[in-house]
Structure formats: C-alpha cells, structure tokens
Structure 1
Amino acid sequence: MEELDLTTREGRFKHFGSVDPVEGTKPIEKELMVDLQSSKKDFLFEVDSVGINNLSYPVVIGDFQSVGNFELATSLRKNEKGINMSRILESLETQNDGGVRLDFGTLETVLGTLRDRMDQESAEVTADGKWYFAKQSPHTQLSGMAHADVKYSLEIGESGTTRKQLGMTAMVTTLCPCSKGISEYSAHNQRGYVKVLLDIDPEKELPDDHREQLYEVLEINASSQLYPILKRTDEKMVTERAYENPRFVEDLIRLIAYDLVELDWVKGFELECRNEESIHQHDAFSRMRYQK
C-alpha cells in the first residue's frame, strides 16, 4: 500500500479517497470534439421555448443596482437537436455594465443578439427584480428607501415584438369598511398586496416614468400607503387616511382597474389584490382580467 505524506494536500486528498486521473482517449481540442447539440435530422417536433431560468444576475433598475432573476429562451427548429446554452449568457453579458439595465430597450438588444447567435426565429426573456426608490413621509418629508417588485417580459420574432409585458407587485394598507361600520372605536386593517401584469401597446411609446406611474396607481387607490420612515405626526396622517378610505379587496381592484384603463400605453392587464387578514387565519383576494 502506498505510503501517503499527509503533510501535503495531495496526500491528504488520496487519504480521503481521491485517485489519480486516468489517461483519456477522447480529444481535448474543441474542433475535434463531438458536437451533439448541432446534430441535424428529423427530431419530430419544433420546440417553442428552450433555454435557462432561475438565473440570478445583477441588474440596474432606475437609479439603483439590484438583483434580477432571469429566464431566457429561443425557439428550436424540428431538424435541430438542441441549442448552445452558453450563448445565452454570452448575449446577456454584452449588456452588463455594472449590471444589466432592466428596461425594454436593453432587453430587446439582448434578444436581438441572442436570436442572431442562435440563428433562431424567436427569442424571449422574463426578468424579475426589486425596484428601489426614495419616498418621503407624508408630514415630516423624511426620505427613505421604498421598494416594489417589477417584472419585464419580452418576446421578439421575425415580424417584430410578439409579447411586451410589465408587471409590478406593491404593498398597501387596507382598512375594512364592514369593521368600521359596526365597531364603536376602531376598524381592523392589514397589509395588502397588489399584483398586476400589463400588456403594453406596441404602438404606443412607453413613458420614461412608467414605473412611477404604475406604482402610483396601485397605491393611491388603497386605504393608505406604506412608507419606509414614519415619525409620530406621519403615523397620525397614515392611520387617519386609512380610516377615511375603507376598502374591500373588491373596491380596491375596481378602483385600480379604472386608472389602468385610462393609461393609453396599456392594452390589457391581469390584476390581483390580496389582503393578509388581521382577524382571520386566511387571506382575502380579488382577481380580474381586462383587454381594451
């Protein structure tokens, strides 16, 4: 049995079971390696989407760097076995400058590069990230960092853009109208979540402040807003505003829908409002779809 020198890393590795590499017979030069993904014959079906997801990648949303979660894919022809997955990351890297700027213009550039490098008819991307922005308290005007979750989804084909969607999830305060109507002293309230996915009209130009416009619509219709910093005078304003504006989830979704319909760059939407009930063990929700 081989005497091992445990004072060396190699000796310790072998002591714990590592073995020497075997002499291989397959080529190590790329040009000589088998390329199964590029095989061409009848593979029975076209594939709508093939690619990668759950990719964590730095992004820039507005003025701040954040972390994005990406799904990127292309189509695949019937006579092709597979795609070259490494080209997906290579295409994303072309737009990395301290993070990929999360907007439709940048994502369209990524998809154009990806489609060309893959030589496919279509390419698509969906990216989620947390958008940070400064928000002032209502009375003392103290500024702190607020946030909302945003989603950008885009698909391009030979004829141009085939899907363009913007999503956002924002937190709000809701106060129960029924509780206010029956209680002598107070009314129960809770944190609510408003989630929307917009179909963007490709014929309209998306405004630079589209995130701000959408966020305002989601929170202004609630009983009250959430703030990163609240002093005593701010808290008084927030709680009194909630009491003055009671909202069922049914009320909230209808008020938000009205404002969304009035945005000329919105073609349609899916909308959900959900309350984490403070006097129940369950949540309450309302959901709707609308197309102009």
Structure 2
Amino acid sequence: MDNNLATREGRWKHFGSVDPIKGTKPTEKELMTDLQNSKKDFLFEIDHVGIKNLTYPVRIGDYQTAGTFSLSTHLAQDEKGINMSRILESVEAHYDKGLPLDFDTLKTVLITLQTTMKQRSASVDVSAVWFFDRFSPVTNLKAVGHADVTLSQTVEDETVTEQTVTIQAAVTTLCPCSKEISEYSAHNQRGIVTVKAMLTEAVPDDFKEQLLDAMEANASSMLYPILKRTDEKAVTERAYENPRFVEDLLRLIAADLVELPFVTGFEIECRNEESIHQHDAFARLHYTK
C-alpha cells in the first residue's frame, strides 16, 4: 500500500485535499474588518432581522421538549447589519437545563438581546410540543397528553408591546345532523382546533390550561392517551350527548374566551377531518374585545 495512504492526512490528499494557502488578511479579531458595524445611510430601517428555525431545548412544566425559535431585532437605518452570534449568546445566557418556556423568561431573553444588540426592539416566536398529564375519565389512569403551542412576544424599550399564544389541539366532534336523521348511531370525527389569543402582559400561570380547557370542554369529547373499556364507554356516550358542528364548537369556544380577562382578542379555527366525506369542514372566527 502507498505509504501516503497510511495516515489520515495522506488519505485526505489522495482524495483531493490541499494544504492551506498562506493568507494575507488578519487572523486576530481586533484587526479584522467589521462590516456589520459599518455606519452610514443604508436607506431604510428594518423592522425584524435575525434567525429562524433555531432548535433549542425548552421546559414546559415538568417536561422538557424541543422549541423552534425565531428571534429578531430592529435595525437602525445607519447600521449595515446585526451580529447574529449575539442572538445565540443571549439565549444561552438564560439556559437552565432547557429554557423555561414562559413569557417572563422570554421577556428577559428579549431584553438581553435588545441590550446586547443596542436596538430599540426585539421579538421572538417559539413553537413546541406541550406535554402534560392527562387522566382517563373513569379509571383515572395517568398518561402523557400533548398539544402544539407557540408563544410570541415583542419588547420595545423593555416594555411588552405584543404578546400572543397559539394552541392547536385535537378533539372529537359528533355530527348533530347524523344523530338527528339516523335511526341509530351517528358519525364522528377528529376535529383540529387552533386558537390564537392576544394577551395582556400579565397572565396567570395556568393561562395555557385555561385556553386548552375552552377548546376541549366545548367539543363532543376530549381525547385521551389511554382508555380502558369503562373509559371508552364514557367517552363515546359523552360525545353522543354533546353533538357539535364546527360552527357550534367555534361559537362555544369564543364564548369562553370572551370571559377570560387576560385575553384581549382571538382567532379560532375549527377543522373537522370528516369521516364520511373526502373533504374537511372548517369554520374560522376573529374577535377583538
């Protein structure tokens, strides 16, 4: 065997690697040109510049999960760009076995980011699977349920100017028309409910649970990870006792959300994955208090 192939470096060169060239540009940070900090008229200020699709560990309650982040800051007209690495440094500064996924923590991260970047505003969107304990209705067996959650927040001069949460969860809906016209039985389906709620800055610790309750309690039935026979009987009978069109479910959820003092407005979509049609049925509503 060729002696050059006996070493890793030799094999690299055998497959086309070459030695580094002798460069002429500085290698020390202090001597490098910093284009991002160039100062002159760059025509427009920018509302948001930053990073998307950052996957980072987060904690929601007792469960750790993965969050998908979008983080950005304002950019002044006389600045060419931002230092992207400082975004990750601002997040890392608040790591504690994952980033606690709550609005107080997000505000702290944004103020750190805003201060580090020397910009007047900063924003974050973070989506994650929210895991929680769910108990079967009769046997009370505990298992892990889940819903999708997105928290969004904007801070300007350390004041929260916008704060929203989006929750998407699946429920059971039983068709009122089918129940009415059939001699027996009624078709049901899985419904996908999405609520985007505009919030006051101060929210209760259980704000997600209150929103999820409005989404699930108004359906024909909520969904459960584990059901024994007695549980299944209770779930199917509850669904039969509480038939819901998508329109019904939408309006009932809206009525509950109107009563929550920390919600200033909302968008709701209910979509049924129809079990006897090739299409879905949906309804959507927007409301501002």
- State the TM-score, normalizing by the size of structure 2: 0.98
Q: Secondary structure at the match of 2:253?
A: helix
Q: Which stretch shows the higher mean deviation, 157-166 or 13-22?
A: 157-166
The change in CA–CA distance for 1:141 and 1:109 in structure 2 (over 3 A counts) is: same
Q: CA offset at residue 16 of structure 1?
A: 1.2
Deviations 1:67-93 (A, max 9, x none): 101000000000000000000000001
Partner of residue 280, structure 1: 277
Deviations 1:73-131 (A, max 9, x none): 00000000000000000000111111000000000000000000000010000111111
Q: Match for 1:254 among 251, 254, 263?
A: 251
Deviations 1:232-290 (A, max 9, x none): 11001101111111111000000000000000110000111111111112111111110
Partner of residue 270, structure 1: 267
Q: For structure 1, which runs of at least 5 residues remain unmatched after alignment?
A: none
Cα separation, 2, equivalents of 1:95 and 1:159:
17
8 A contact 2:71–2:123 mirrored in 1: yes
Cα separation, 2, equivalents of 1:130 and 1:108:
20
Cα separation, 1, equivalents of 2:238 and 2:87:
49
Pairwise mapping of residues 46-195 of structure 1 onto structure 2 (< 5 A)?
46-158=45-157, 160-195=159-194
Q: CA offset at residue 158 of structure 1?
A: 2.3
Cα separation, 1, equivalents of 2:126 and 2:181:
45
Q: Secondary structure at the match of 1:26?
A: coil
Cα separation, 1, equivalents of 2:5 and 2:156:
60
Q: Secondary structure at the match of 1:51?
A: strand
Please tell me whether residue 290 in structure 1 is matched to residue 269 in structure 2: no
Q: CA offset at residue 54 of structure 1?
A: 0.6
8 A contact 1:196–1:269 mirrored in 2: yes
- Amino acid in the other structure paired with 1:27: P
- State the TM-score, normalizing by the size of structure 1: 0.97
Q: Secondary structure at the match of 1:190?
A: strand
Cα separation, 2, equivalents of 1:105 and 1:230:
36
Over aligned residue pairs, what C-alpha RMSD do you find? 1.0
8 A contact 2:269–2:283 mirrored in 1: yes
Deviations 1:197-225 (A, max 9, x none): 111123xx311111111111110000001
Cα separation, 2, equivalents of 1:35 and 1:276:
54
Partner of residue 244, structure 1: 241
8 A contact 1:60–1:102 mirrored in 2: yes
State how many pairs are aligned.
288
Deviations 1:21-63 (A, max 9, x none): 1111111100011100000111000000000011100000111
Please tell me whether residue 207 in structure 1 is matched to residue 200 in structure 2: no
8 A contact 1:274–1:285 mirrored in 2: yes
The change in CA–CA distance for 1:43 and 1:4 in structure 2 (over 3 A counts) is: farther
8 A contact 1:4–1:15 mirrored in 2: no
Q: Secondary structure at the match of 2:133?
A: strand
Q: For structure 2, which runs of at least 5 residues remain unmatched after alignment?
A: none
Counting aligned pairs with the same residue, the percent is 64
8 A contact 2:111–2:158 mirrored in 1: no
Q: Secondary structure at the match of 2:6?
A: coil
Cα separation, 1, equivalents of 2:56 and 2:207:
23
Q: Secondary structure at the match of 1:174?
A: strand
Pairwise mapping of residues 31-42 of structure 1 onto structure 2 (< 5 A)?
31-42=30-41
Q: CA offset at residue 159 of structure 1?
A: 6.8
